[in-house]
């Protein structure tokens, strides 16, 4: 059979999808290349037993894309859309020389270890098993709590943030995708419209909230379909937090709450633009360019405490439901307050300004403009010693030479489901959906499942599926294998 090439594009008006999909048949090999129009894209080649089977597989792949709205096109006619790079509003006081002078004016924090990720870092995630840092080069490094490097992912572009949603871990990337990074390899979980210049994101029970450069807020469901969008009163929306009751959105004019259906519930002005947001069960915390962290009650938007810093607040976090409040400023200092707003201490990081932070088990983990992931001992004894000028010798963890694991659509195969749960990809209204086949589950409920893995008619084995907190759909967890 003759070799063939099928080139398709999906380019939606209003700044929606702008993607290509190419299928090349060469003998018995099928090469599929996909990505954003104007980019090289990602290519995978699959061998088939005969040229006839290769041609049939290629035709099936192209037909699936046509059903999703892709059309025949000529490569190079449409151009790549411009993507605006986000830039954190750094004041002049946060230049490296000024930061060093400011840090010298305060005593040093008790940093136990630090890891140079190789580029400015915004993403941090910490749980009982690990600490993760994501940087502007697209690297996501995983370390133990003692500073041992154990894993490295490489995403296609800069990492915006890393967020946890129960046992799932996601990384937002400057390529417009949100990746599930809880398995052996990153997989695309959400694709965000290209007209949205993402500043931050958060996920709760599968619902994604995205805040953007223009001050807008967009929410997306577990099937990567838009729920609602709204324009905030301000610009530069660096804060979004999501819970079961709504979405909390911070920008240049303050903080707003939207209900789960997009209804505006309250607006609270802040001192300065919101540069970072944190949440606990009952309150949200907004760090601002006005040198403040504001504690705002979720229920009614009442500001119940303010925490005063000496510079623009790039990040904040809390311990034990707000018993302690931490903040990092533009002069490479870190602060601790009690819940009422009393400042307990201020110390220098020694490794840059904290763009993000997270507290875990008497340690504060910082990622900085210098690309460091730093582990700070914030126990009472360690802080008391630091205030007296005694700090531990910092363990300087060297840049690891681990091979990077990159996003993939490849799936291992198995003929034995074992103790796993069997699911099947089916076509529902022309859309690829995943349902549970194993007994004991709702057969008509959708399963949240990686987008770029789905093949209609194929069955997969996953380690587990769990009902969402809101009900009505399942979420797959663990490794995925194709059942053959």
Q: For residue 292, which of 303, 283, 302, 282 has the smallest C-alpha distance?
A: 303
Would 216 be classed as within a structural domain? yes
End-to-end Cα distance, the chain: 27
Q: Domain boundary residue among 331, 366, 397?
A: 397
User: Domain total for the chain?
Assistant: 3
- State residue 75's pLDDT score: 84
Residue 14 DSSP class: G
Calpha distance 397→117 (Å, rounded): 10
Q: What is the CATH number of the domain that holds 46?
A: 2.20.140.10
Calpha distance 337→315 (Å, rounded): 14
Helix (H, G, I), strand (E, B) or coil at 313: strand
Would 387 be classed as within a structural domain? yes
Would 104 be classed as within a structural domain? yes
Calpha distance 170→364 (Å, rounded): 21
Number of H helices, E strands in the chain: 3, 40
Bridge-partner residues for 47, per DSSP?
Answer: 29
185-186-191 Cα angle (round to 5): 155
Would 83 be classed as within a structural domain? no
Same domain, residue pair 322 and 420: no
Same domain, residue pair 43 and 156: no
Q: Domain boundary residue among 362, 397, 432?
A: 397
Which parts of 1-148 are beta strand (E)?
A: 4-11, 18-26, 29-36, 42-47, 71-72, 111-116, 121-126, 131-135, 139-143
pLDDT tens figures, 49-76: 999 999 999 999 998 888 878 899 888 8
Burial of residue 59 (number of CB atoms within 10 Å: 0-12, 13-18, 19+): middle
- State residue 87's pLDDT score: 52
Write out the DSSP string of 83-113.
-PPP-----GGGSHHHHHHHHHTSPBP-EEE
- State residue 80's pLDDT score: 63
Domain span including residue 68: 4-72
Which residues, 6 or more positions from 75, have their beta carbon under 8 angstroms from its beta carbon? Answer: 7, 20, 22
Would 47 be classed as within a structural domain? yes
CA distances from 308 to 106, 322, 327, 387 (A): 16, 16, 10, 19
Are 7 and 20 contacting, i.e. CB atoms less than 8 angstroms apart?
yes
Calpha distance 120→352 (Å, rounded): 10
Same domain, residue pair 160 and 307: yes
- State residue 138's pLDDT score: 95
Pairing of strands 412-414, 473-483: parallel
Q: Domain boundary residue among 369, 397, 425?
A: 397
Q: What is the dihedral of CA 71, 73, 78, 79, to 10 degrees?
A: 100
Q: Which residues of the chain have pLDDT under 50?
A: 14-15, 83-86, 90-103
H or E segment to which residue 383 belongs:
helix 380-387
Ramachandran category for residue 215: left, alpha or beta (phi over 0 → left; psi -120 to 50 → alpha): left
Residue 166 DSSP class: T
Q: For residue 454, which of 479, 432, 436 has the smallest C-alpha distance?
A: 432
Same domain, residue pair 305 and 391: yes
Would 289 be classed as within a structural domain? yes
Would 249 be classed as within a structural domain? yes
Same domain, residue pair 102 and 33: no
- Edge to edge, the sheet with strand 226-231 lists 198-204, 207-212, 216-220, 226-231
- State residue 101's pLDDT score: 45
Same domain, residue pair 53 and 156: no
Are 355 and 122 contacting, i.e. CB atoms less than 8 angstroms apart?
yes
Q: Is the CA virtual torsion 182, 185, 189, 192 positive or negative? A: positive
Same domain, residue pair 463 and 425: yes
Radius of gyration of the chain (CA): 24
pLDDT tens figures, 113-161: 999 999 999 999 999 999 999 999 999 999 999 999 999 999 998 998 9
Calpha distance 359→137 (Å, rounded): 25
- Phi, psi of 58, rounded to the nearest 5 degrees: -65, -45
Q: Give me the half-sphere count of Cα atoms (radius 13 Å) on the Cβ side of residue 305.
A: 16
82-86-90 Cα angle (round to 5): 145
Q: What is the CATH number of the domain that holds 289?
A: 2.130.10.10
The length of the chain in residues reads 484
- State residue 203's pLDDT score: 97
Same domain, residue pair 422 and 375: no
Would 107 be classed as within a structural domain? yes
Calpha distance 478→438 (Å, rounded): 16
CA distances from 290 to 12, 167, 253, 338 (A): 40, 35, 12, 20
Q: For residue 144, which of 169, 160, 157, 127 has the smallest C-alpha distance?
A: 127
- Phi, psi of 94, rounded to the nearest 5 degrees: -100, 10
Calpha distance 480→105 (Å, rounded): 53
């Amino acid at each position: 059979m003759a070799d063939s090439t099928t080139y398709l594009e999906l380019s939606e008006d209003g700044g929606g999808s702008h993607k290509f999909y190419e299928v090349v048949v060469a003998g018995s090999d099928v090469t599929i290349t996909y990505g954003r129009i104007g980019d090289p894209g990602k290519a995978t080649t699959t061998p088939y037993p005969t040229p006839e089977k290769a041609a049939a597989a290629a035709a099936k792949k192209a037909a699936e894309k046509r059903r999703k709205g892709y059309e025949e096109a000529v490569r190079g006619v449409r151009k790549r859309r411009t993507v605006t790079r986000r830039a954190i509003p750094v004041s002049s006081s946060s230049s490296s020389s000024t930061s060093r002078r400011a840090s010298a004016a305060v005593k040093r924090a008790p940093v136990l270890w630090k890891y140079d990720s190789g580029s400015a870092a915004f993403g941090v995630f910490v749980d009982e098993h690990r600490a993760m840092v994501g940087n502007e080069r697209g690297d996501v490094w995983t370390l133990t709590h003692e500073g041992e490097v154990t894993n490295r992912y490489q995403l296609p572009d800069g990492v915006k943030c890393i967020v946890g949603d129960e046992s799932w871990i996601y990384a937002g990337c400057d390529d417009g995708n949100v990746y599930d990074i809880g398995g052996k390899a990153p997989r695309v979980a959400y694709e965000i419209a290209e007209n949205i210049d993402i500043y931050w994101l958060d996920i709760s029970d599968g619902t994604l909230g995205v805040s953007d450069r223009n001050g807008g807020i967009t929410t997306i469901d577990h099937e990567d379909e838009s729920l609602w969008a709204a324009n905030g009163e301000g610009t530069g929306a660096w804060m979004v937090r999501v819970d079961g009751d709504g979405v909390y959105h911070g920008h240049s004019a303050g903080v707003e709450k939207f209900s789960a259906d997009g209804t505006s519930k309250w607006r609270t002005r802040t001192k300065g633009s919101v540069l970072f947001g944190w949440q606990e069960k009952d309150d949200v915390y907004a760090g601002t360019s006005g040198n403040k962290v504001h504690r705002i009650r979720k229920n009614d938007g009442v500001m119940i405490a303010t925490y005063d810093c000496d510079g623009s607040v790039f990040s904040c976090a809390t311990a034990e439901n707000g018993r302690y409040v931490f903040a990092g400023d533009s002069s490479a200092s870190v602060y601790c307050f009690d819940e009422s707003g009393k400042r307990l201490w201020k110390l220098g990081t020694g490794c840059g300004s904290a763009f993000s932070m997270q507290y875990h088990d008497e340690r504060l983990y910082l990622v900085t403009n210098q690309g460091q992931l730093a582990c700070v001992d914030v126990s009472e004894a360690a802080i008391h010693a630091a205030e007296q000028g005694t700090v531990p010798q910092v363990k300087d963890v060297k840049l690891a030479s681990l091979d990077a694991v990159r996003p993939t659509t490849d799936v291992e195969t198995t003929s034995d489901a074992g103790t796993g749960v069997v699911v099947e990809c089916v076509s529902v209204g022309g859309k690829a959906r995943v349902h549970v086949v194993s007994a004991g589950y709702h057969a008509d409920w959708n399963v949240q499942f990686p987008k770029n893995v789905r093949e209609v008619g194929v069955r997969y084995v996953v380690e587990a599926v769990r009902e969402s907190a809101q009900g009505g759909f399942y979420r797959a967890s663990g490794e995925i294998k194709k059942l053959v």
